[in-house]
């Protein structure tokens, strides 16, 4: 029996084009919500960033409306749309939506059940609220970069993924919205959510932060087992120059690894600080004897917590992801057919049909505004004035 999508019947109006809020609406759409992307008409759109056609899964399954919110008629039309929505998702700088007359107080008057989620780097208030920023800034402020190893020049490395945007912001916002919708089911009332990306990153860093707050210790690179203190949790180069990730934390897994590498003498010394460089040297020498994939074939099934360090090109060819249906087909009118990451989070619907990725110029403005109660004559009049597109 096919289950209905988890968020079927939930309508989200999303002002974002990129960043944490766009990550959030992608998650909500993949759980079955109806997501309507709200943007400005072309003549007003210079301040917006239009991502590549494939980014954020090409906004597959979403609708679009373009409205000039600075025009009185445009704001009135948006408020009609909002009257039938469940969630508003915005990522303007703090204070902007209130000045536009579309803040939570404005929306609550037309729809008391609305869940209004503002995503920003540092939150709507506090000393840093007006700071501009991006992913790297938020990872820096919340301690992530400091704990992430060091480059040759002594500085922290630039991460290979936008963790602040995706987890600290997007997933943070999605979880908060889902919780608010559940609470609304009990109270009948919507609420305002102030999602600060840095607080999401702080949550991701809670093991290290809580350690410092409780003990006074100062976690950093090489401080404990998860940040490189011991040889059993590190990366090693194989004979072919490719890398392996070793995370043999548990003594039994570490012993299995040592035995497989011919390094049995180091089994009693797993957490002996005085011997870590000796163990690393022995591991480096052992791993240099075979190519990466030979080691993976030998060690990964043998309870050693060893895995290959894949490039993106290798990751998308991994048979495990393919077997689990991690990738989906998509098609674009101008760019043709391509593959993309599918709805991979647990409980999302995987239809198997190719997703239609529409050109950014295509909108559903007429249909959506008609649905909200505007006449075709009113829509045409706004279009002639450049208020909608």
List the catalytic residues.
Answer: 134, 165
Angstrom distance (rounded) from CA 277 to CA 207: 26
CB 227 within 8 A of CB 147: yes
CB atoms within 10 A of CB 107: 24
Angstrom distance (rounded) from CA 126 to CA 231: 41
Angstrom distance (rounded) from CA 251 to CA 365: 60
Where do the H-state alpha helices sit in 39-126? 72-83, 96-100, 104-110
Q: What is the DSSP string of 174-219?
A: HHHHHHHHHHHHHHS--EEEEEEHHHHHHHHTHHHHHHHHHH----
Say which residue the tokens 């039994």 belong to.
Answer: 252
Beta bridge partners of 66: 39
CB 152 within 8 A of CB 225: no
CB 258 within 8 A of CB 320: no
Angstrom distance (rounded) from CA 102 to CA 79: 8
Q: Which of 89, 96, 93 minimizes the C-alpha distance to 114?
A: 89
Say which residue the tokens 């995370």 belong to.
Answer: 247
Beta bridge partners of 89: 14, 117
* Beta-carbon-side half-sphere exposure of residue 334 (alpha carbons within 13 Å): 9
CB 289 within 8 A of CB 237: no
């Amino acid at each position: 029996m096919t289950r209905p999508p988890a968020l079927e019947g939930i309508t989200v109006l999303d002002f974002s084009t990129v960043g944490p809020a766009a990550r959030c609406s992608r998650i909500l759409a993949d759980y079955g919500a109806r997501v309507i992307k709200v943007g400005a008409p072309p003549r007003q759109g210079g301040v917006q960033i239009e991502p590549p056609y494939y980014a954020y899964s090409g906004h597959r399954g979403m609708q679009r409306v373009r409205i000039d919110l600075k025009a009185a008629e445009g704001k009135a039309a948006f408020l009609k749309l909002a009257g039938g929505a469940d969630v508003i998702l915005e990522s303007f700088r703090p204070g902007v939506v209130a000045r536009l007359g579309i803040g939570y107080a404005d929306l609550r008057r037309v729809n008391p059940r609305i869940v209004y989620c503002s995503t920003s780097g540092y939150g709507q208030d506090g000393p840093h609220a007006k700071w501009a920023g991006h992913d790297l800034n938020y990872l820096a402020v919340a301690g992530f970069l400091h704990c992430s190893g060091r480059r040759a020049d002594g500085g922290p490395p630039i991460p290979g993924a936008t963790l602040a945007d995706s987890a600290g912001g997007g997933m943070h916002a999605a979880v908060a919205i889902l919780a608010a919708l559940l609470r609304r089911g009990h109270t009948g009332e919507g609420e305002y959510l102030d999602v600060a990306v840095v607080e999401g990153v702080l949550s991701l860093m809670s093991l290290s932060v809580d350690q410092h707050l409780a003990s006074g210790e100062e976690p950093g690179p090489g401080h404990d087992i998860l940040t490189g203190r011991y040889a059993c949790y590190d990366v090693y180069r194989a004979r072919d120059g490719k890398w392996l990730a070793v995370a043999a934390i548990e003594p039994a897994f570490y012993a299995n690894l040592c035995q497989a590498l011919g390094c049995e003498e180091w089994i009693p010394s797993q957490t002996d600080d005085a011997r870590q460089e000796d163990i690393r040297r022995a591991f480096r020498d052992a791993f240099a004897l075979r190519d990466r994939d030979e080691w993976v074939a030998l060690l990964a099934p043998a309870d050693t917590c060893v895995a290959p360090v894949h490039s993106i090109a290798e990751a998308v060819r991994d048979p495990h992801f393919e077997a689990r249906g991690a990738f989906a087909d998509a098609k674009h009118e101008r760019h043709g057919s391509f593959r993309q990451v599918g709805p991979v989070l647990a409980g999302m619907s995987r239809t198997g049909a190719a997703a239609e990725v529409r050109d950014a110029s295509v909108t559903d403005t007429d249909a959506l505004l008609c649905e909200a109660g505007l006449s075709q004559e009113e829509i045409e009049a706004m279009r002639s004035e450049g208020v909608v597109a």
